[in-house]
Amino acid sequence: MKKKLLYINNFEAPYRVPFFNYLGQNYDMTIAFSQRPEERKERNLKWFQPLERNYKSLYLDTVQLGNIKIAFSVKKILKDYDIIFMDMYGNPTNMYAIYCLNRMKKPFVMSVDGILPKQNEKFLAKAIKRYFLNSPLKILSPGEYVDGNLKKYGVLPEKIARYHFTSLLKDDLLSEVPTFEEKLKLRKKLDMPLEMQNKVILTVGRFSYERGYGKGYDVLFKAMFKLPKAYHLYIVGDEPTQEFIDMKNKMRLDNIHFVGFKNKKELNEYYCAADLFCLQTRGDVWGLVINEAMATGLPVITTKQCVAGMELVKNGINGYIGDAEDDGELANNIMTILDNTEVRQNMGEMSLKIIREYTIEQMTKDHVKVLNSLIG
């Protein structure tokens, strides 16, 4: 008989469903969600696609307390499962569940996608983080950069286990960098410029995230202003704000293209058609678009505020890590990659090599190994 696993999560992101399905093959698994898709108003509802599931979903009843919603109902179900897994700690329901588990003296495992250190963090905020991060029996971390930040909050090295955080199946990873002819075919389909001197830069992210400033689009626009007009930037995500439409027009950046929302298959065509991926973020706890770009053989430019970048991008090897506010540095890094075919090819090949182990199949194995250790 399979062990009963309770997986406590905030909401059912579509990119997590394949992983949940793989994990569910190993357990009698129930996932308890504290939010429904329609509550995620910042997300395009097209993002939530109907998918087959081999696990049970439980939507917890929540109550409103000021500006937050919390599911006190989670307490009633904790005792009914052999294994408890907590996906992060940073929402009220997960925090309450951790408090209850500690009171019950019931061990559990937790994962973190990433942790960005904060400057001048207040004593109380730091103490709260220490409490939650030190509560699980084991904590799954995606890499050495995150390990270091966990240790700053007092997490012992023996509590930390590695997992390969991703949204990609093994079959999603390309075996080699697409040829120019293959890219040209896709560019024709996507109505992109076809001349040899034209280069395609891709970025993916929502304008609704901190009005576009969270993804550093203002810095990216300034960098594009300094670059040749033959360099074209394609922004895939939600619809642009009027502020960024005006910014583009004022700077006369006709080589910036707003693409809007694309599903997984459509988005993959943009990755494969591009020469370079750029995520000029001011703060991404991970940034799965980095995984996706590398899986299609793209060099990557991102910032020190992107945890996926800090773990997966090796400076000068498969891309560059820069300052989130420095548009001059960004423009120079873009030129370095796009002006040299050999550099671009070598970096793309290194991206494929680095990302090779970051598959849902491997991530499932990482989780099963740790979860099974909980039950002996």
* Longest CA span, the chain: 66
pTM to 2 decimal places:
0.93
Structure-block tokens of residue 136: 């699980």
How many angstroms separate the CA atoms of 334 and 319, rounded?
A: 9
358: three-class secondary structure by DSSP: coil
Q: Please report the beta strands in the chain, taking only residues with DSSP state E, as ranges in sequence order.
A: 4-9, 28-33, 56-59, 63-65, 68-70, 83-87, 109-111, 138-141, 160-162, 199-204, 231-236, 256-260, 276-279, 300-303, 319-322
Helix (H) or strand (E) holding 86: strand 83-87
> Is the C-alpha dihedral spanning 141, 144, 150, 154 positive or negative?
positive
Q: Domains in the chain, ordered, with CATH?
A: 4-168+359-374 (3.40.50.2000), 174-355 (3.40.50.2000)
Q: Are 294 and 355 contacting, i.e. CB atoms less than 8 angstroms apart?
A: yes
C-alpha–C-alpha distance, residues 306 and 37, integer Å: 26
pLDDT digit string (tens) for the chain, length 376 residues:
899 999 999 888 888 999 999 999 999 999 999 887 666 555 555 544 656 788 999 999 999 999 899 999 999 999 999 999 999 988 999 999 999 999 999 999 999 988 877 778 899 999 999 999 999 999 999 999 999 999 999 999 999 999 999 999 999 999 999 999 999 999 999 999 999 899 999 999 988 767 668 899 999 999 999 999 999 999 998 889 999 999 999 999 999 999 999 999 999 999 999 999 999 999 999 999 999 999 999 999 999 999 999 999 999 999 999 999 999 999 999 999 999 999 999 999 999 999 999 999 999 999 999 999 887 6
